[in-house]
A = this chain, B = another copy of it.
Amino acid sequence: MMRFLEIFSNGDSQSLRISQKEIPKPNDDDVLIKVEYVGVNRIDILQKKGLYNSEKEDNDVLGVEVSGTIVNMGSKAYLYNPTLKEGMKVCALLSGGGYAEYVTANSSLCFKIEENFLTMEEAACMPEALFTIWKNLIMIGDMSLGSSILIHGGSSGIGTMAIKVANLFNAKPIIVTAGNDKKCSACIGIGADYAINYKKEDFVKKVMEMTNGEGVDIVLDMVGGEYLRKNISCLKYKGKIINIAFLDGAKSEIVIPEIMKKEAIITGSYLKSSPIDEKCSIACDLRSKLWPFINKGLLKPVIDSVYDFEKVEQAHERMENSMHIGKIVLSF
């Protein structure tokens, strides 16, 4: 048996409590990981509140990324990822189940950790951010040398890592928005060229100033709502808006000729519902393109705070109140 965090419905609200269940058994292509740390993501909070329609095959335990040690391997796990063996320290992208002492992970979505260059705390912060950024900025956004980019929520877990990855690609300029001056400073500190405090300044006006009236190639947006139309105003001809969340609202009014005039591309994605084949393909790209930097200590996450898993509600509250800069982590 193992401890895990169970969703507990208390009338109108949901919270998490420590409970016990059987240790999961890995399928043929899975590994079993003894969890050390789990990265906290907004999707965890949505799922806790019943606001994310999880697919049937999804795990009903929260948690989409962990670091830990491989303690058991399915019979074919080695074939899918020959770099793995029992006793190895890894981080992994999950479809769920990370808020627990043990979790199974698809072996293709595990990454060997060199602890000289990445602590296990840091390792738990990598998968969700890196997969999201690779899928959206690289595969969908075609970000490359010299791409100009606007990242909303620049001080979030995804935002801070996006700034770092955009720097590796030499995207220029990297512009971010954040909700206070401290967050803006943090973004500049890790490599953003400009940071706009959206509570003080009109981000459309600032972006156009910073790009000499040209606009940007890519907008990565987690705000939604009325930002969508404003994002179109920030775009260069043939630029792309990529929606990965909608913290300010799902519905948005757009003006079709504004899209046509710029040949703007509006798109977006959910990492969690992406096909497994695509996730495996992203994992290969991450291993070959980004892991060489990670294994030299040249790419690390920004960690906001680490909570004992018993204090998970405090961790969630910190995220819901947008107090954090970078990633929040739970230790198991």
Contacts and interface: CB of A to CB of B under 8 A. Distances in A.
Interface of A: 140, 224, 228, 243-244, 246, 250-257, 259-261, 263-270, 273
Contact of A255 (B250, B265, B270, B273): B250
A224 to B, nearest CB: 5
Contacts of A253: 251-254
Contacts of A246: 256-257
Contact of A243 (B250, B252, B256, B267): B256
Contacts of A252: 253-256
A270 B265 contact: no
A95 B69 CA distance: 66
Contacts of A140: 263
Nearest to A221: B256
Q: Would you call the interface of chain A mostly helix, strand, loop, or mixed?
A: mixed
A267 B263 contact: yes
A36 B246 CA distance: 54
Contacts of A254: 228, 251-254
A265 B265 contact: yes
A258 to B, nearest CB: 8
Given A252-B254, A254-B254, A243 B260 contact: yes
A255 B264 CA distance: 17
26 contacts: A140-B263, A224-B256, A228-B254, A228-B256, A243-B256, A243-B259, A244-B260, A246-B257, A250-B255, A250-B257, A251-B253, A252-B255, A252-B256, A253-B254, A259-B267, A259-B268, A260-B268, A261-B270, A261-B273, A263-B267, A263-B268, A264-B267, A264-B268, A265-B265, A265-B267, A266-B266
Given A251-B253, A255-B250, A265 B266 contact: yes
A305 B248 CA distance: 51
A236 to B, nearest CB: 13
B250 A256 contact: yes
A213 to B, nearest CB: 17
A270 B266 contact: no
Given A251-B253, A251-B254, A254-B252, A266 B259 contact: yes
Given A246-B256, A250-B256, A252-B256, 8 more contacts: A250-B255, A251-B256, A252-B254, A259-B266, A263-B267, A265-B265, A266-B266, A266-B267
A57 B147 CA distance: 30
A259 B259 CA distance: 15
Nearest to A274: B263
Name the 3 nearest CB pairs between A and B, nearest first: A260-B268, A266-B266, A246-B256
A284 to B, nearest CB: 20
Contacts of A265: 265-267
A264 B240 CA distance: 12
Nearest to A237: B275
